[in-house]
């Protein structure tokens, strides 16, 4: 499948996974690849903690959009700021800041379970409807919170029968359940615990939320190492031991990748393990190349 076609599958892609699997890095690599394909990208970060901007050499995100690179913009979304904007859009500009300063907004936002999540998801829905970018990538909370985060609109539909909150929840649910508008891309490492958690998350999102799942991204895959070194020097033994360790790790990862395919029959995109302490733009370009290659091996629409 061509990357441009892949980017057109859904207007919103929610990138989710267990904490520590590299979902923010995957989000950034996906954005770089999409921008190369001529797509405008908006990354939305919803926890306010990611190191997304560090890879681009920029300061942390705020509620206002910034440009990370040509074709790539980003912002963060918080419930408080989303509620202030909602009030201002509905003719309550004068009082919105006073409510925020007094702490009353926090009372409003926590009065109903799931209210904070619907404020954020409602803003994402608005951005999608306004077509602010060809592709909106949502750097979602870690897997456990992601399920709660994405279930909140349906929960509000059960709890609230009338009014603007119900309408907002209904509109968000419609977006989440429409595969042409929204899908989830789950990220994992080829290790036992992350794979187990990803499978549980996938079934929860499909069965309890009704979301469409895109390909699974398996991050930090170790390549199959070459044969043992034949160098006749004092370092030969150390090199041989390192190769043996890498081979053992590759076999272990291959087993987890196969197990994931058995338990969750979704296409997979494999990204390589990078031996670096931090991810900068050079590393993002390497991962973007691998992402494009992985998409190329996906089957296109019939």
Pairing of strands 268-272, 66-69: unpaired
pLDDT digits (tens, 9 = 90+) for 246-273: 889 999 999 999 999 999 999 999 999 9
Alpha-carbon distance of 9 to 299, in angstroms, equals 13
Q: From the options 3.40.50.1820, 3.90.78.10, 3.40.50.300, 3.40.50.2020, give the CATH code of 3-85+112-218+267-296.
A: 3.40.50.300
Is the model's pLDDT at 151 over the cut of 60? yes
Report pLDDT for 103. Answer: 65
Q: What is the mean pLDDT of residues 2-10?
A: 94
More confident residue, 30 or 208: 30
Nearest CA-CA partner of 52 in 37, 36, 34, 31: 31
Q: What is the mean pLDDT of residues 15-22?
A: 93
Nearest CA-CA partner of 288 in 39, 14, 74, 11: 39
Task: Kindly report the length of the chain.
Answer: 302
pLDDT band at 83 (very low <50, low <70, confident <90, very high): confident
Is the model's pLDDT at 47 over the cut of 80? no
| Most trustworthy range by pLDDT among 52-61, 217-226, 254-263, 293-302 | 254-263
Nearest CA-CA partner of 28 in 145, 139, 140: 139
Q: What is the mean pLDDT of residues 46-59?
A: 85
pLDDT digits (tens, 9 = 90+) for 87-121: 777 666 666 666 666 665 566 656 666 778 888 99
Nearest CA-CA partner of 53 in 282, 280, 288, 287: 280
DSSP string covering 220-259: EEPPPP-SPP---STTHHHHHHHHHHHHHHHHHHHHHHHH
Give bridge partners of residue 135 from the DSSP assignment: 41
DSSP string covering 51-70: -GGGGGT-PPP-SS-EEEET
Report pLDDT for 93. Answer: 65
Residue 269, helix vs strand vs coil: strand
pLDDT band at 302 (very low <50, low <70, confident <90, very high): very low
Average pLDDT over the chain reads: 88
pLDDT digits (tens, 9 = 90+) for 161-184: 778 878 888 999 999 999 999 999
Contact 150, 26 (CB under 8 A): no
Alpha-carbon distance of 77 to 70, in angstroms, equals 22
Alpha-carbon distance of 51 to 204, in angstroms, equals 27
pLDDT digits (tens, 9 = 90+) for 201-253: 999 999 988 999 999 999 999 987 776 655 556 677 777 787 888 889 999 99
Contact 180, 8 (CB under 8 A): no
Contact 270, 218 (CB under 8 A): yes
- To which H or E segment does residue 166 belong? helix 164-176
Q: What is the mean pLDDT of residues 27-37?
A: 97
What does the DSSP 8-state code read for residue 162? S
- To which H or E segment does residue 77 belong? none
- The residue ranges of every structural domain in the chain are 3-85+112-218+267-296
Q: Which residues contact 241 (CB under 8 A, 6 or more apart)?
A: none
Report pLDDT for 300. Answer: 63
Contact 138, 185 (CB under 8 A): no
Q: Which residues contact 158 (CB under 8 A, 6 or more apart)?
A: none
Is the model's pLDDT at 33 over the cut of 50? yes
């Amino acid at each position: 499948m061509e990357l441009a076609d892949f980017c057109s599958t859904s207007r919103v892609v929610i990138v989710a996974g267990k904490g520590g699997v590299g979902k923010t890095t995957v989000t950034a690599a996906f954005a770089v690849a999409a921008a190369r394909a001529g797509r405008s990208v908006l990354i939305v970060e919803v926890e306010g903690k990611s190191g997304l901007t560090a890879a681009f050499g920029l300061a942390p995100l705020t509620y206002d959009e910034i440009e990370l690179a040509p074709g790539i913009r980003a912002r963060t979304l918080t419930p408080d700021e989303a509620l202030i904007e909602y009030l201002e859009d509905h003719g309550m500009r004068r009082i919105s800041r006073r409510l925020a300063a007094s702490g009353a907004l926090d009372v409003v936002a926590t009065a109903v379970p799931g209210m904070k999540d619907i404020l954020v998801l409602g803003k994402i829905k608005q951005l999608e409807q306004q077509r602010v970018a060809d592709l909106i990538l949502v750097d979602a909370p870690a897997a456990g919170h992601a399920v709660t985060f994405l279930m909140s609109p349906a929960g509000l539909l059960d709890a609230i029968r009338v009014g603007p909150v119900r309408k907002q929840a209904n509109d968000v649910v419609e977006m989440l359940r429409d595969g042409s508008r929204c899908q989830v891309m789950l990220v994992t490492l080829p290790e036992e615990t992350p794979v187990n958690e990803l499978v549980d998350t996938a079934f929860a999102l499909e069965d309890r939320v009704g979301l469409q799942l895109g390909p699974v991204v398996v991050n930090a895959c170790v390549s199959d190492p070459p044969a043992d070194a034949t160098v006749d020097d004092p370092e030969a033994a150390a090199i041989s031991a390192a190769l043996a360790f890498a081979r053992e790790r590759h076999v272990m990862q291959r087993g987890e990748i196969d197990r994931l395919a058995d338990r969750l029959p979704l296409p997979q995109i494999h990204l390589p393990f990078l031996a670096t302490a931090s991810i900068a733009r050079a590393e993002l370009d390497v991962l973007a190349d691998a992402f494009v290659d992985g998409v190329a091996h996906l089957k296109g629409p019939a």
